[in-house]
Homo-oligomer: A and B are copies of this chain.
Amino acid sequence: MDITLIGAGNLAVNLGKALLKAGHNIVQVYSRTEESAATLARILDAEPVNRISDVDDTASVYIIAVKDSALASLLPSLCMNRGDKTFLHTAGSISIDVFDGMARNYGVFYPMQTFSKEREVDFSVIPCFIEGSNDAVLTAAKELAHTVSDHVYDLSSDGRRVLHLAAVFASNFVNHCFSISSELLSGCGIPFDVMYPLIDEVVAKARLMRPVEAQTGPAVRYDVNVISRQAEMLSSEPLLRNIYEDMSRSIHEMSERQRKDAMQ
């Protein structure tokens, strides 16, 4: 398939490499930043372009992997006079409706992963969530996704909104818990490495049972002594203290709810 990539950030880099490896032809790579476009275009054996007006009609599919905030403003000039082309955006948090009135054949190809330039990821294990403006686009987009991933799902924009929020909890907020933990430890000279076995075990358990059933610690038994002492330790950082108290309350509430459900 002849594909043009709009964007040269972390997702574009990883997706572009996976598409090339799967045998697709990457025609052009667009980025506002000259260097980013050039770097990725070199890797993908494509033509770098820095202005949307330089994007040409050679490709049949245009995959848009830019910042959420840049997406809507790009579309009018990108889609104009390209009624026979297919446009796919890759944003977890943006509805398919962003294309409304811009194009006829459009959809979403959302690979749910956290990408960084430093790390090449194995694309084949990444779940990809697909949506299309019509059956032909849906089928084509799913076929395209299957060339790079073994885990391809249909998902509506409404479902993807929930999925994206769930991903924020399971990745960004999880990572932030690591950041807070690491910062607390560095305050008394303990390296974050000591947490790895604990983290590995928590993650392993989450694969074996429902996370709510795997919960341990002071909050799930609602040990008020420990909770109030630990909250007190965060008194110089009110935001962290709020997070600590709300998380503890929420853990307790959810586990109580789960216990009641289990008894019924």
Given contacts A68-B226, A197-B125, A246-B239, contact A202 B114 (CB under 8 A): yes
Interface string of A242-261 (1 = CB under 8 A from B): 11101101110110000000
Q: Are B167 and A198 in contact (CB under 8 A)?
A: yes
CB A70 to nearest CB in B, in angstroms, measures: 11
Q: Which residues of B contact A210 (CB under 8 A)?
A: 179, 182, 192
Interface string of A50-82 (1 = CB under 8 A from B): 000000000000000001110000000000000
CB A189 to nearest CB in B, in angstroms, measures: 8
Given contacts A116-B205, A127-B197, A203-B203, contact A177 B169 (CB under 8 A): yes
Interface string of A198-212 (1 = CB under 8 A from B): 111111111111111
CB A174 to nearest CB in B, in angstroms, measures: 5
CB A210 to nearest CB in B, in angstroms, measures: 7
Q: Which residues of B contact A204 (CB under 8 A)?
A: 119
Q: Are B247 and A243 in contact (CB under 8 A)?
A: yes
Q: Which residues of B contact A198 (CB under 8 A)?
A: 112-114, 167, 170-171
Q: Are A216 and B185 in contact (CB under 8 A)?
A: no
Q: Are B174 and A202 in contact (CB under 8 A)?
A: yes
- In the bound assembly, the distance between CA atoms of A216 and B194 in angstroms comes to 24
Given contacts A93-B230, A114-B205, A240-B250, contact A174 B172 (CB under 8 A): no
- In the bound assembly, the distance between CA atoms of A112 and B109 in angstroms comes to 42
Q: Which residues of B contact A113 (CB under 8 A)?
A: 197-198, 201
Q: In the complex, what residue of chain B is closest to A229 when comparing beta carbons?
A: B93
Interface string of A122-166 (1 = CB under 8 A from B): 000111000000000000000000000001010100110111111
Q: Are B249 and A194 in contact (CB under 8 A)?
A: no
- In the bound assembly, the distance between CA atoms of A199 and B219 in angstroms comes to 23
State whether the Cβ of A43 lies closer than 8 Å to any Cβ in chain B: no
- In the bound assembly, the distance between CA atoms of A165 and B247 in angstroms comes to 13
**Which residues of A pack against B, CB within 8 Å?**
67-69, 93, 112-116, 118-119, 121, 125-127, 151, 153, 155, 158-159, 161-185, 187-188, 190, 192, 194-212, 214-221, 223, 225-226, 229-230, 233-234, 239-240, 242-244, 246-247, 249-251, 253-254
The 4 closest A-B pairs by CB, nearest first: A172-B217, A178-B211, A170-B181, A169-B181
